[in-house]
Structure 1
């Protein structure tokens, strides 16, 4: 009894190299899933197609994920975590002190870049059969992002009533989402044109409400 207890930690501990190999395989499968979800949609995607995209056998895939839903949940969690980290880098006092046009560049460019690099994020959310956990985490992220926008607006116009600030944040966020859908549907020069149009729409909407000068120092 004593010997088995003493031996358990050593037997249970995975070699670091094996863990690194496993993590690389998981990331390989998630990258493949992202490609398949974007190309075929979540509903039509299959574990066989994901395994084929990753260049592995279905048996190898099942060593890491029991089904397609588990893959989608893991992919959604990782992308949501990355987006939350990005929030802390763009919704800053420094960016709030910029004139409106420069602030929009500083805030929107990283968000657009992230979504263009990870189109599977919206492909999952737009699916009517996306796992509930993925949708719940996205909704929570949505609320956090909208709260950050509302806080940013408050920095530019501290005297703005709370209900007007919330309404303005909601409208601004919806304008961005509509523009983002168009941005992701295009490539090259057309994508750049829609990025410029999205920023122009937000500038035109926000300027009369919060002004065009940088927020006062806190």
Structure 2
């Protein structure tokens, strides 16, 4: 069967596989070189395709970054839905921190291109905008969890605590991502200990009961 006669679904599936191949190659190149130093030629070489093949799917490096970032953000949003639940909010504080931080550490470990893209000085505007939306959504979900846990906190207090927690997590995550093996585990423990010591005076350390339900999407 010649390519023009190929069934549409098969052509579509083949195209989707090629896009995935190119995005995986781009993720590797962005991590190795950073967004600024990366090029479509480097991405094509990593994907073992010609530049012409790459341009059939993406017009430039920015379009690749936008598509890759969009897919990673969707995965991150799915993680939000799994971890920010009333059940997890009511757990003893050490378990709550484990349940919330572990999936995000695992996500960033599996997808280092996510941090490579958003930390670059010339990150495409659309990528930066989508990350800002994600950041604000994350703050809101943390605030909702705090409300479930300790309803006596005011909205302003919850907003402040959420900002502090996220800032601490991001700073700690940068250190975690720079290490491997036992060293990485040690930094993870330190990060969790930092969050525990900060949150304990506000949330207590035991399980919470009889608190309001969270808004769930």
- The bucket for the TM-score relative to the shorter chain is over 0.9
Deviations 1:77-126 (A, max 9, x none): 00011101110011011111210000111111001000111011110111
* Of 146, 158, 173, the match for 2:151: 158
CA distance in 2, matches of 1:43, 1:121: 15
**Alignment-derived partner of residue 141 in structure 1:** 134
Secondary structure in structure 2 of the residue aligned to 1:160? coil
Gaps of at least 5 residues in structure 1 are 1-10
Q: Identify which of 48, 53, 56 aligns with 2:46.
A: 53
1:14 Cα offset (Å): 6.3
Instruction: Please give the alpha-carbon distance, in whole angstroms, between the structure 2 residues aligned to 1:27 and 1:176.
Output: 30
Tell me, in whole angstroms, the C-alpha distance in 2 between the residues paired with 1:35 and 1:214: 42
3-state SS of paired residue (1:79): helix
**1:206 is matched with which residue: 195, 199, 203?**
199
Distance 1:76 1:104 in 2: 26
1:153-203 deviations in Å (ceiling 9; x for gaps): 111110112211111111011110000000111111111111111000000
Instruction: Provide the residue aligned with 1:82 in structure 2.
Output: 75
Indicate the SS of the match to 1:64: coil
Give the Å deviation of 1:131: 0.5
**Residues 48, 211 of structure 1: alpha-carbon distance in 2 compared, 3 angstrom cutoff:** same
Give the root-mean-square deviation of aligned CA atoms: 1.3
Partner Cα separation in structure 1 for residue 132 and residue 190 of structure 2: 26
TM-score relative to the length of structure 1: 0.92
CA distance in 2, matches of 1:118, 1:45: 17
What residue is the counterpart of 1:125 in the other structure?
A: 118
Larger deviation: 107-116 or 160-169? 160-169
What stretches of structure 2 of length at least 5 have no aligned partner? 213-217
Question: In the alignment, which residue of structure 1 is the partner of 2:215?
Answer: none
**Residue in 1 that maps onto 2:97:** 104
Alignment partner of 1:32 is 2:17: no
* 2:179 pairs with one of 186, 201, 211: 186
Question: How many corresponding residue pairs?
Answer: 207
The structure with the largest alpha-carbon Rg is 1
Distance 2:154 2:13 in 1: 52
TM-score (structure 2 length as normaliser)? 0.93
Q: What is the CA distance between 1:18 and its match in structure 2?
A: 1.0
